[in-house]
Structure 1
Amino acid sequence: MKITFYEGTEMGEAIASINALSNRSQVFLPPGAPPPFIIRFDASSQPVGQLVFRSNTKTNNQLQDIANFNARPFLIKIPGLTTAPPFGGSPRTIEINIDPYKLRSHNLSPEQVVEAISRNNITSPSGNIYIGDKNYLTPTNNTVKNIEELGDVPIFKGTVDNVYIRDVATVKDGADIATGYALIDGKRSVYINIAKAGNASTLDVVNTLKKQLPDIQRNMPDDVKISYEFDQSVYISNALKSLVVEGVLGALLTGLMVLLFLNDRRAALIVIMTIPISIISAVLFLKLFGQTINIMSLSGLALAIGILVDESTVTIENIHQHFAMGKTKAQAIWDACKEIAFPKLLIMLCILAVFAPAFMMTGIPGSLFMPLAMAIGFSMIISFLLSQTFVPVMANWMMKHNVVNCENPAHKEDRFTKFREKFSNFLSGLMKFRKPIVGISLIAVILAGAGLYLITGKDVLPTSNSKQFQVRLKAADGTRIEVTEKKVKNFLELLKAKVGKDNVAISSVFIGQHPSTFAVSPIYLYNAGPHEALMQVALKEFNGNSDELKDELRQYYKEKMPDLQLSFEPIELTEKILSQGANNPVEIRVSGMMKKMNMMTANKLLAKLKELDYMRDQQIPQSMNYPAMQINIDRTRAAQLGLDAQDIAKSLVAATASTRYTNKNFWVGGMMGIAYDVQVQTPQNILNSKEELENLPLTKNQDRPVLSDVATVLPTKEMGESYNLGTMGYTTVTANLHKKDLEQASKDVKAAIASLGELPKGINIEVAGLAPVLDETLGSLASGLLIAVVVIYLMLSATFQSFRVSWVILSTVPFVIVGALVALNLTGSTLNLQSYMGMIMSVGVSIANAVLLISNAETIRKSSNDALGAAIEAAKLRIRPIVMTTLAMVAGMLPMAIGFGEGGDQVSPLGRAVIGGLIFSTFSVLIVLPLVFGWVQKKASIVSNSLHPEDEESIHFVNLKK
């Protein structure tokens, strides 16, 4: 049972309430049923690896005991680590295996064996006896010391000639009835699923565990070897490596860009030096605010590398401009920093405002967006502070400047100066046609943006080409676990033949179900029955497309093993968190009070989904036709023979299952004094036919009646699984996607549901899986971007004391969005959380460049009263810093956009969106923005609207000195 609470619920109170309700429900459970186990499970509390136990001499069940008692005590000491019991073995158990033939020969029933064990192997307290000066304890051997002694337990009381357990059963130190196996590389083994707590760092948990492995290994028997497999922290480690690689490449490319424009190696070095300082400082602040190093925070830091150079580059370029004016070094540095201090502060605030909506987001989008926003925010703040402190100090120490060599007041004649003049003339020519150019440009870009948005695919996160995959294998309902195991081994052999025998690094399979003793285990890994297996495979080398590989495997096994059904599932940690328990991106729930009607509707919907050529693994995962032997008791006949339903049920439990829960009994053994269950059962290889079941004895001390005397046994089909939402049952239809975005799939699913027509009364259909997450994510991001634009608009209006100037600056935003969408479509990327972040960041950078130009243009306009000339002059003066920062940021984002390093495909859409947005942003800021400014501000007043009482340029200023 899974209970989901609304956000903001006090979980301590919730767990206490559930505990009280579960205790109350205990009276409604069958006798012997253990109390419910309540555990808090967060969506991010997912397995991050497997601790595997291998041995050439130990059985699975022995490894289970070793893993449980020798290894788990070490794991509970690791902060942030949670584990379920070991997977793959059955708990050690003392088996009393009854022989039905011997029972009949002694006129005994299974229930009599159970009663004998219960009476003669008990745990009871003892007292004291006082003899002389001593106080003696009085321990008894109520509990047998040696397992063999259980065979000497008499079945009858008050008779000399007795029958003993050894006469009708064998006693064995074994294990509970096997319900599931684990295979590691095709061999039976045991592993512990390593999971992290919701607020813990995956990297910290895994690294701490790896340090503990030598200590755990020392506590293992000599022939038991342990290893840590399917390490999910490698994705974060790879992202960390990619961040370092991208940071180094970005810094070098940025330095080369500064060197190209300014021809100053020392200036380029200063800009490069600010990058590691900002990143390290941002990581420190993330730690202080309780964040961890994860995929999203690393994406934020990777994105910040490109924007970090903006602040330092603008400062360095402005210092060079003041050098060219013939000022002394100190004066030039002082004037340059003073001149751009406020515009840069405004720029920083605008970029921070873009990410401010992260603090208002809720649910999964908020959880994912917050680390990224905080990483960028801290990096930007530190970068701004460095550009106003570290950069000027280092410029004074490192940069060379000779006033004598400066041509004052004119700038040096170089190629860029000539280009600047040509650009100024070009802009002057366009200014004559500013209105039609601006009008046509804005209409065209808005229409293009709307069209591109509609055709761009949308996903929650970008797809990644991993070397690992997870697949669920399903044989026919009711297939015995041994048969399923053979099919799985055949599957593995065929897989090696397909991908290369030496190319499979490791495979891990869990077949069947967990032992009922381990109530927590299905939270982490769930199979419907002995006919299902969940397989994880890691390849050594794989450089292709994972979707294509999966599709090849589907076709391959359809030919080789047509009786086996495949369904691929997410294996990466981020995908598992986003899916919130769903095994497939497409999941549809058909609910209603009549389960047969639910099934009929689900089958109709399944047929519709199979018509979509890009969908794969379409199925109804529940076992709806599980084979069964229906036992119908004739209560009248049973009563005539001195039996009732309870007597028959007790004998059936001992014969078809065990007395593990209906009659608890323990044996305490070993040096550690661990209590193990003693259970009475019939060996599965004996009760292997309908006739054997019908001949089961039911009455004490008589060979008749047997089961067939009081009941009929009929083969039938039963519902193997029952899913309920509250009290209402539901059936699930699931599917995977092949090279299709989630939004389009969601639209087609809704169309398929609509095509069913009017649903039968009482039937409801709900779309689950990743579709609601996508809608919530894109909705939050879109509203967040709108809020950010409004905040920036108000901030600009307050700064420039003009609403019109604010609209001028924001006119670049449509161009940025179109540029980002163009880049995504050209590279085959979708609009997802990563690319949306890139788009938002490029909007912030575009506004920053616009502020840099418009603040200068406003200053010139107010002094000259010429808006057209001010726009051209401001563009002429600011073209170098704008082009420099744009090219530097593009250079910094290029390694990310290409997807260098492992895991690069997960963040490449972010870099592509930034680059596309910046290219269009540069065009709009340098070409369209001056035209918009000239048009809007041509007749604007040069008198300030400031309310500052001492501002002499304000219309509200009153000179009291006259």
Structure 2
Amino acid sequence: MWIVRLALRRPLSVAVMTLLMLVLGVLAFTRMNVDIFPAIDLPVVIQVWNYPGLSATDMERQVTFYGERITAGLVNDIEHMESESIAGASVIKIYFHPGATVASGIAQMSALSQSILAFFPPGMTAPNIVDYNAANVPVAQVNIFSDTLSEQQLFDYGQNQIRQRLYTIEGISVPSPFGGRGRAVMVNLNPTKMYANGLSAADIGNALNNSNIIIPAGSIKIGNREYRVELNGSPPQVANFNGLPLKVINGVPIFLGEVAPATDTHMVQTNIVRIDGKRATYLPIYKHAAASTLTVIDQVREALPLILETVPEGMKLHLAFDQSVFVRATLWGVVREAAIAAGLVALMVLIFLGSGRSMLIVILSIPLSILTAVIGLKLSGQSINIMTLGGLALAVGMLVDDATVAIENIHRHHAMHKPLLLAIFDGSAEIASPAFVGTLAICIVFFPVVLLYGVARFLFTPLALAVVYAMLTSYLLSRTLVPAMSRYLMPSSHEEHAGSGRWAG
């Protein structure tokens, strides 16, 4: 067989190939993303329409109904849709066919949402369109608490300061804080006084919109200088809103504060967070599908001390719900089991081959096959997770098959009093085809994985790729590394080998 002949003629080339496998495998392993599960890229887009104050029934009739039907008729590659209507919001989930370009669907939906606003109630704004991914999961949360600051201050600082600092970390998204009270300027309508003065809620809204504006009015030149002129109608303080004129009755102006006083307060609180029994807030940290959980958490931990230097006195930050702890424990558990399996395989090879040198040749193929499989996984866009590690652990016992059979057959030909090089060549070439068929049979077992779809495909494809890459590498090493090492580690004559005993090293 030509590859065996090449390995025997150019052992230095085999050594260079082995070194490349080792170096590139280690580099690939250290640079791959690490997570519990593979990235599950489901083509799903969520469309959220908001209209505060509208009941769930009216949202379904006036928003969800039209949104579903217009989207279904004008957006490509839709498999099916699901919707939910609640008070003030409509959530439409659009499931695309596998392989569909989600970015194209989002672009179509964004353009479509602007043109269908005419069908919706007055004042309806464009929807929020979110590219849903099952791998975008919360991996940690930053607790924000204090013994001296109010809930409103905690929420405000978390929303406008801490959240903005965390945004700079690659691979994460940070939604608005949970808990706390968001600051809001509330205008409290007094129906009795409004009716007595002939005012409606629309009059109040128009007065606020018309009086709370800043308009550039051009410029004026005085002497050698030119000044910009602005019409600033925005009150500098919340209390100044109460002085906005609404109407004049018999020469007497009616001000906002008389019928609908404005107050600096907070929005209606819909959720409460407690830490050690005290009101607090927290920021959830979401990891993107392509990011590494361990890398993301490490960067968040590095950023928190820097953020703490700038927070108000008395504010405390704490990283909780740290998923990297479970990721590390799970992955090291799989690695530990794989190492135990490799040790048991080495022991069995030593027992049945009866030679420490032969065992060394066979066992060396295990780490090289695994590292080369890692290179293949890296090039395939996979990550280090329990499925890829499980596939490599599953293949550990099979990785020594080709090398063991090759070594044993070389011993058999050597026992026929053939010269060592001829025994290596004949022993390796004789089993090349059967070993290839056996390796191919193992790889074909995992072929049906490509026929899966949905979540199962994303889960089991990495496992199958890990096994296939490792098995193909094992076969390559049995035709190259095993003959090359046998040339230098095996006794040059059968008598020398027989005289050294079965358990010779």
* TM-score (norm: length of structure 2): 0.71
* Equivalent residue, structure 2, for 1:128: 219
Confirm whether residue 309 of structure 1 aligns to residue 400 of structure 2.
yes
- Give CA deviations for 1:422-472 in whole Å, capped at 9, x if unaligned: xxxxxxxxxxxxxxxxxxxxxxxxxxxxxxxxxxxxxxxxxxxxxxxxxxx
Matches within 5 A, 1:784-799: none
* Equivalent residue, structure 1, for 2:333: 242
- Give CA deviations for 1:694-746 in whole Å, capped at 9, x if unaligned: xxxxxxxxxxxxxxxxxxxxxxxxxxxxxxxxxxxxxxxxxxxxxxxxxxxxx
Confirm whether residue 358 of structure 1 aligns to residue 470 of structure 2.
no
Confirm whether residue 144 of structure 1 aligns to residue 235 of structure 2.
yes
Confirm whether residue 384 of structure 1 aligns to residue 471 of structure 2.
no
- Per the alignment, do residues 2 and 396 of structure 1 end up closer, same or farther by CA in structure 2, a change over 3 Å counting? same
* Equivalent residue, structure 2, for 1:8: 99
Contact preservation (8 Å) 2:117, 2:126: yes
- Give CA deviations for 1:534-588 in whole Å, capped at 9, x if unaligned: xxxxxxxxxxxxxxxxxxxxxxxxxxxxxxxxxxxxxxxxxxxxxxxxxxxxxxx
- Give CA deviations for 1:350-384 in whole Å, capped at 9, x if unaligned: 12222223334332222222111111111112222
- Give CA deviations for 1:92-115 in whole Å, capped at 9, x if unaligned: 212234566877898876666545
Which among 152, 155, 164 is matched to residue 61 of structure 1?
A: 152
The amino acid of 1:264's aligned partner reads S
Question: Residue 137 of structure 1: SS of its match in structure 2?
Answer: strand
- Per the alignment, do residues 298 and 222 of structure 1 end up closer, same or farther by CA in structure 2, a change over 3 Å counting? farther
* Equivalent residue, structure 1, for 2:122: 31
Confirm whether residue 221 of structure 1 aligns to residue 312 of structure 2.
yes
Residues of 2 paired with 1:144 and 1:159: CA distance? Answer: 26
* Equivalent residue, structure 1, for 2:7: none
Contact preservation (8 Å) 2:335, 2:389: no
Tell me the CA shift for residue 186 of structure 1: 4.8
Matches within 5 A, 1:810-959: none
* Equivalent residue, structure 2, for 1:340: 431
Which among 334, 354, 360 is matched to residue 263 of structure 1?
A: 354
Q: Percent of pairs identical after alignment?
A: 38
Contact preservation (8 Å) 2:216, 2:229: no
* Equivalent residue, structure 1, for 2:113: 22
Contact preservation (8 Å) 2:214, 2:231: no
- Per the alignment, do residues 53 and 152 of structure 1 end up closer, same or farther by CA in structure 2, a change over 3 Å counting? same
- Per the alignment, do residues 114 and 244 of structure 1 end up closer, same or farther by CA in structure 2, a change over 3 Å counting? same
User: Greater strand percent: which structure?
Assistant: 2
Structure with bigger RCO (C-alpha 8 Å, 6+ apart): 2
Residues of 1 paired with 2:152 and 2:423: CA distance? Answer: 78
Matches within 5 A, 1:673-684: none
The amino acid of 1:275's aligned partner reads I
**Once structures 1 and 2 are overlaid, which stretch shifts more, 171-180 or 248-257?**
171-180
Question: Residue 293 of structure 1: SS of its match in structure 2?
Answer: coil
The amino acid of 1:343's aligned partner reads P
Residues of 2 paired with 1:166 and 1:291: CA distance? Answer: 62
- Per the alignment, do residues 74 and 300 of structure 1 end up closer, same or farther by CA in structure 2, a change over 3 Å counting? farther
- Per the alignment, do residues 407 and 237 of structure 1 end up closer, same or farther by CA in structure 2, a change over 3 Å counting? closer
The count of residues paired between Structure 1 and Structure 2 equals 411
**CA RMSD, aligned part only?**
3.3
- Per the alignment, do residues 407 and 47 of structure 1 end up closer, same or farther by CA in structure 2, a change over 3 Å counting? closer
Residues of 1 paired with 2:389 and 2:277: CA distance? Answer: 37
**Once structures 1 and 2 are overlaid, which stretch shifts more, 3-12 or 98-107?**
98-107
- Give CA deviations for 1:740-793 in whole Å, capped at 9, x if unaligned: xxxxxxxxxxxxxxxxxxxxxxxxxxxxxxxxxxxxxxxxxxxxxxxxxxxxxx
The amino acid of 1:28's aligned partner reads F
Contact preservation (8 Å) 1:296, 1:371: yes
- Give CA deviations for 1:132-170 in whole Å, capped at 9, x if unaligned: 332211123311122232233344447765554445555
- Give CA deviations for 1:505-559 in whole Å, capped at 9, x if unaligned: xxxxxxxxxxxxxxxxxxxxxxxxxxxxxxxxxxxxxxxxxxxxxxxxxxxxxxx
- Per the alignment, do residues 58 and 100 of structure 1 end up closer, same or farther by CA in structure 2, a change over 3 Å counting? farther
Tell me the CA shift for residue 241 of structure 1: 0.5
Matches within 5 A, 1:286-305: 286-305=377-396
**Once structures 1 and 2 are overlaid, which stretch shifts more, 301-310 or 227-236?**
227-236
Matches within 5 A, 1:449-464: none
Confirm whether residue 275 of structure 1 aligns to residue 366 of structure 2.
yes
Contact preservation (8 Å) 1:323, 1:401: no
Which among 234, 240, 251 is matched to residue 342 of structure 2?
A: 251
Question: Residue 104 of structure 2: SS of its match in structure 1?
Answer: helix
Which among 197, 218, 230 is matched to residue 321 of structure 2?
A: 230
The amino acid of 2:371's aligned partner reads I
- Per the alignment, do residues 274 and 27 of structure 1 end up closer, same or farther by CA in structure 2, a change over 3 Å counting? same
Matches within 5 A, 1:182-201: 182-184=273-275, 186-201=277-292
Tell me the CA shift for residue 336 of structure 1: 2.5
Tell me the CA shift for residue 286 of structure 1: 1.0
Tell me the CA shift for residue 245 of structure 1: 0.7
- Per the alignment, do residues 413 and 207 of structure 1 end up closer, same or farther by CA in structure 2, a change over 3 Å counting? closer
Which among 359, 371, 394 is matched to residue 485 of structure 2?
A: 394
- Give CA deviations for 1:214-241 in whole Å, capped at 9, x if unaligned: 4444443343333333234444423320
Contact preservation (8 Å) 1:325, 1:406: no
- Per the alignment, do residues 310 and 220 of structure 1 end up closer, same or farther by CA in structure 2, a change over 3 Å counting? farther
* Equivalent residue, structure 1, for 2:269: 178
Residues of 2 paired with 1:4 and 1:261: CA distance? Answer: 56
Residues of 1 paired with 2:142 and 2:490: CA distance? Answer: 56
Matches within 5 A, 1:599-748: none
- Per the alignment, do residues 133 and 276 of structure 1 end up closer, same or farther by CA in structure 2, a change over 3 Å counting? same
Residues of 2 paired with 1:211 and 1:188: CA distance? Answer: 26
Residues of 2 paired with 1:126 and 1:243: CA distance? Answer: 69
Contact preservation (8 Å) 1:323, 1:406: no
Residues of 2 paired with 1:226 and 1:395: CA distance? Answer: 61
* Equivalent residue, structure 2, for 1:629: none
- Per the alignment, do residues 47 and 141 of structure 1 end up closer, same or farther by CA in structure 2, a change over 3 Å counting? same
Contact preservation (8 Å) 2:414, 2:423: yes
Confirm whether residue 88 of structure 1 aligns to residue 179 of structure 2.
yes
Question: Residue 312 of structure 2: SS of its match in structure 1?
Answer: coil
**Structure 2: segments with no counterpart, 5+ residues:** 1-91
Residues of 1 paired with 2:436 and 2:209: CA distance? Answer: 80
Tell me the CA shift for residue 176 of structure 1: 1.6
- Per the alignment, do residues 329 and 7 of structure 1 end up closer, same or farther by CA in structure 2, a change over 3 Å counting? same
Tell me the CA shift for residue 333 of structure 1: 3.1
Tell me the CA shift for residue 401 of structure 1: 6.3
The amino acid of 1:137's aligned partner reads R
Question: Residue 179 of structure 2: SS of its match in structure 1?
Answer: coil
